[in-house]
Amino acid sequence: MVGVFQATFAHLDSSSGVAGERFLGLLVAVFFVYAASIVVSTIRQYYRLRHIPGPRIAGFSKWWLLQGETGGRMNLECYEITEKYGSLARIGPNDLLTSDPDLMRRMLNVRTNYQRSDWYYAMRFDPSKDNVLSMMDDAKHTKLRAKMAAGYSGKEVEGLEPKIDKNILAFMDLLDSRYVSLAKPFDFGRKAQFFTLDVISDVAYGQAFGFMATDSDMFNYIEILERQMPKIISTTVYPWLVDVLSSPVFKSLLPSHKDALGFGKVMGIAREKAAERFGPNKIVRNDMLGSFVAHGLTLEEAGSETLMQILAGSDTTATAVRATTLHIMTSPRVVNRLHAELDKAGVFGRPLDRIIGDAEARSLPYVQAIVKEGLRIFPPVVGLMSKVVPKGGDTFKGVYLPEGTKVGYCAWGIMRRREVWGDDASEFRPERWLEATPEKLKEMESTLELVFSYGRWQCLGKNIALMELNKVFVELFRRYELVLVDPTRPWKSRNVGIFNQSEFWIKGYKRQLE
């Protein structure tokens, strides 16, 4: 490029020195006008949100936002920001972060005027197709949710609870036959994700992938996805990257349904399973995919939605299983009280092939307190999921939010907010759910609900996830005494919007059942 300019100027000089000088002057002028416009735009952007505190660099650049989201400790970075600057803090030129549950409910309620921001554009796991998570058009999103609601509720999934029970039994058998009975340690981080991947595939397609049966990371799905997640989350900071990456120039670098390994392989399975439900020789099953198709999802939509639920549903539930298990097993007080409740309910005397029912688990107060406290102390999803301030702006608790500003979710801050949870908010203490007054319990319940989002954007998979959690801790702790191999280094945990957790080494010992 430099050579081209030099040659151009040489030609102009040889033909007309005056013309060359004019051209050079014009070029310099254009450059300075462009630079000045960037400076003016940056200053205007800074002043627009100057009344909201945050890191100094955040007013001028997305650098804090990028390193915060991709650095591996996003949950803590965001929490530390709200602890330092307050429950509404600036983290980018046009980006805010809130740890105020009232503001979250204001943005998420069914009659809100707030909209999804372009953060969601990066949730197109297949860049060529939208899904219920990535869709930003409200009308289309509502219509799509309506088609999927019955399937996610379980009402049209034949034998939903027995499917989950079958996979919990397979999970227990895997731990028992290959590790506990042989006194071998196991990476509970991986095993928990094998379990949740098999559950969601069984519920979705009527057939589990087989992660537990093979006791392996099939087609290196988990390993490859963990490597790719920082790159995926970076596109939430710069959503235009999605279009760049899906262009013909770069598309070959993205996962493809033709891949033999990784996320591309799962894309291929999702596409294949969806295709089986269409055409003259279509398969008809009463599973989640069958419900989607029965309610009008197209072939393309069915493939996209099942792909999304595999990725989103397995990772988040696995995190809840891992984190809550870690907190239970490292608190003898919690283990003893859980055992006392299970003993009183007669759970210990039952055959091991009889999984506790969802309805019974919901009736056990301490089991429910553990599930809730696990989700509170370690919320599985901490992505910003930013919403856009509506036209005309908004004023919240005396603070003006200009139109078009993006406001993100600080999960760690909300779930450790002392005004809601008390001075021991950083402690795993299920008893708080049993001690609270009716008014306080209502406040706690409505705040915890934000883990699954709220209102028009509430997670469709909430009921299935809670059914898994209601059962799995009962079955783990009625069978085994679980201990950490190295209490000083319990696991490797990184967060880039969702958690990657591995090397969670545990040894299990069979409990003497009465």
Binding site: residue ranges?
459
Tell me which H or E stretch contains 483: strand 480-484
CB atoms closer than 10 angstroms to residue 409: 25
Strand spans (E) along 167-321: 186-187
What's the CA gap between 89 and 343, in Å, rounded? 48
Q: How far apart are CA 484 and CA 109, in angstroms?
A: 42
Q: Which long-range contacts (CB under 8 A, 24 or more apart) does 25-29 make?
A: none
Token digits for 326? Answer: 């870690």
- Tokens at 241, concatenated: 């990257």
What pairs with residue 84 in β-bridges? none
3-state secondary structure of 482: strand
- Chain CA centroid to CA 259, Å: 24
Could you give the 3-state DSSP secondary structure of residue 499? strand
The dihedrals phi and psi of 436, each to the nearest 5 degrees, come to -65, 145
How far CA 423 is from CA of 173, 362, 364, 418, 440, in Å, comes to 41, 28, 26, 5, 14
Query: Residue 508's beta-bridge partner residues?
Result: 482
Of 300, 280, 304, 276, nearest to 290 by C-alpha is 276
Pairing of strands 499-502, 115-116: unpaired
Cα–Cα distance between 463 and 483 in angstroms, integer?
30
Distance CA 214, CA 190 (A): 13
Measure the CA–CA gap between 464 and 475, rounded to whole angstroms. 17
**Which residues participate in the annotated binding site for heme?**
459
First to last CA, the chain: 81
Burial bucket for residue 46 (CB in 10 Å: 0-12, 13-18, 19+): middle
